[in-house]
Structure 1
Amino acid sequence: MPHRSGSDVTPTDLPADTAVAVVFFRPSPEQVERVVERFAGRMPVLVYDNGGIPPEAMAQLHAAEGLTRLGEGCNRGIAAALNALAEAAIAAGFARLFLLDQDADTSVETARALGHALDRLADADPPPALVGPAPAPKPGHKAPVYPPRPGVPPRETLRPVEFLATSGSLVDLSAYARVGPFREDFFIDAVDLEWCFRAWARGRSCWMDPATAIPHSVGRGTIRARFLPVAMPDQPLFRMAVYVRNTAYGWRLPHVPVRWKLKQAAYLPLQIGLYWSRHRFSPRVLVRLLAALAQGLAGRLGRPADAPP
């Protein structure tokens, strides 16, 4: 039986101009089942296969009502997957895209609530590029923080933010066409941050709806400093290295505000130190992270050599 959260929603209640887009990479059968049960047959669903979908889950995707699968099972990175999903949605005539990753614990009701929020922002100046939920707590993980956008007033309960995660966000596809695609040479980390800063620079805005919240986490846990109020996600080394590289490259981008560059310039060395400490001051880890820093500063991006296939 399909999952229901909150009040029931019939197909006639749902916006015909909105599709769900999900990126899968080595999902569990339960994660695939959750997406199918909650969305298939209730909203059009686009799935991008970045690899590792179990055979039984693949069979469920093939049998799902109103679901289209993209990708060839090869890990092209999150940015390439999001761009393929957005382009397919535009080609199919959709105006909005509800972006999810495989961990997102959400529902059709969330998509509908964000759609109403986007409607309320129709006359905002600058017009909205996307609206997303507030991050709900998830045990053992550090929830992301979305800084408020200076100089832009709230709209009723909606809050302008510098950036927010793509997962759980409802994207206006006309704004996507204006802002441009997600940076595929970033591969995975900071893809959403860079795109949101670019959206603001190109005359579009990013919003958070505090009345709508979903759990969101990065990595496999949290690393906390012993004597400082600093916490960061604990991630595999290749992910941490890509984050360092892309953050450093962001310092070269004119559309990233100076205030954010200064904050990251102070914060990134602390993160590198915390991660290195977690890994018992391994020389291999430090060399990998410093090399990633140098790559970012030099503008050498692209798929990491140690990214999983």
Structure 2
Amino acid sequence: MPPSPAPAPVAIGITVFRPTPEQVATLRARVAAEARPTIVFDNGGLPASVAAHLTACGARVLSAGDNIGVGGALDAIARAATAAGAAQVLLLDQDAVFTPAQVSELEAAMARLRALSQPPAVVGPRPEAAPGRKAPAYPRRPEIPDFGSLVPVAFLATSGSLIDLQAYARIGPFRSDFFIDGVDLEWCFRAWAKGYGCWMETRTALPHHVGGGVIRWQLLGIEMPRQPPFRMAAYLRNSVYAWRLPHVPRAWRLRQAAYLPLQALLYWADSGYRPRVLAQLAGAVLDGLRGRLGRPKGLPR
């Protein structure tokens, strides 16, 4: 079998929304240190002076003039990377601290995965918890063996994920109607269903900063990020809606059917059992059952 041709350059895609001064400083340093083409999507709140500085440093800054959600921003980045001639795009959020050397590690991992019969869709780093936060957990695919340091997983968070753009074109775009939560999970389930693999490179790691702390139910061993109500509502809504999608595995649906009520109860308890929060969570579940997606209710402008 002849070797695959060398891939085109990797593009870097970064989504931002109301970045803090510290996140702006990280973004500036990221663009300055990266020789690869960089695309920044502003979902709102990026100062015009910062956008101008990033552009002067060689980055391409995109905006729809409104918050179109994570899914819409990632699709815009993927389209721009493809138009720029990139074969792969490394997706990052504004909190991510991921060095150019780590990007190269994922690029090398993607190249190794091309030796497999099942083409790779995405490879990402091992998740770690930033101080006071909870790292996401990636369930492994037990029917597929590890490939050296690479572990097949059901899904990965988009931040830190290196996406193969040819695979992306065949799998389809991220679900913009999910807006924020579950976008990565649904896309990876769809990738597996279409014959592509999702892999975690265990030799490199990325700390995750999701939420504003951790909510714990020690008796049941449950931990979840502490999120604002609109985020928790979007998570519930999208999870319930995903049960109807044929590419979402039955085992995952059953797990979520048991787990989501416990998470909702834990979140409500953490809110002080406020009736308004309970009504918002119940409304989110109803929206998921009825297929009412899009911009979450209560999303800050």
Same fold (TM over 0.5): yes
Aligned to 2:197: 205
Aligned to 1:259: 251
2:140 aligned partner, one-letter code: P
1:141 aligned partner, one-letter code: R
Whether contact under 8 Å (1:75, 1:308) holds in the other structure is no
Q: Quick one: distance in 2 between partners of 1:35 and 1:282?
A: 37
Q: Quick one: distance in 2 between partners of 1:135 and 1:106?
A: 12
Aligned to 1:63: 56
Residues 59-100 of structure 1: CA distance to partner in whole angstroms, max 9, x if unpaired? Answer: 422321x21011144111000000000011111111000100
What residue ranges of structure 2 are gaps of 5+ in the alignment? 1-6
Aligned to 2:28: 36
2:125 is aligned with 1:138: no
Q: Which of 127, 141, 152 is the aligned partner of 2:119?
A: 127
User: How far apart are 1:219 and its partner, in Å?
Assistant: 0.8
Residues 149-203 of structure 1: CA distance to partner in whole angstroms, max 9, x if unpaired? Answer: 1211111110000001000010000000010000011000000000000000011
Q: Quick one: distance in 2 between partners of 1:107 and 1:35?
A: 12
5 Å-filtered alignment, 1:122-271, equals 122-271=114-263
User: How far apart are 1:37 and its partner, in Å?
Assistant: 2.0
Aligned to 1:100: 92
| Matched-pair identity in % | 55
Whether contact under 8 Å (1:18, 1:96) holds in the other structure is yes
Aligned to 1:12: none
1:51 aligned partner, one-letter code: G
Residues 181-239 of structure 1: CA distance to partner in whole angstroms, max 9, x if unpaired? Answer: 00011000000000000000011110000001010132111000142200111100000
Q: Quick one: distance in 1 between partners of 2:121 and 2:134?
A: 26
Q: Quick one: distance in 2 between partners of 1:308 and 1:195?
A: 25
Whether contact under 8 Å (1:28, 1:53) holds in the other structure is no
Q: Which of 48, 51, 55 is the aligned partner of 2:44?
A: 51
Aligned to 1:5: none
Whether contact under 8 Å (1:244, 1:292) holds in the other structure is yes
Q: Give the TM-score normalised by the residue count of structure 1.
A: 0.92
Q: Which of 280, 288, 291 is the aligned partner of 2:280?
A: 288
2:41 aligned partner, one-letter code: Y
Q: Quick one: distance in 2 between partners of 1:139 and 1:23?
A: 22
User: How far apart are 1:55 and its partner, in Å?
Assistant: 4.3
Whether contact under 8 Å (1:33, 1:60) holds in the other structure is no
Q: Which of 5, 17, 28 is the aligned partner of 2:9?
A: 17
Q: Which of 114, 120, 123 is the aligned partner of 2:106?
A: 114
Aligned to 1:89: 81
What residue ranges of structure 1 are gaps of 5+ in the alignment? 1-14
Whether contact under 8 Å (1:244, 1:293) holds in the other structure is yes
Aligned to 1:10: none
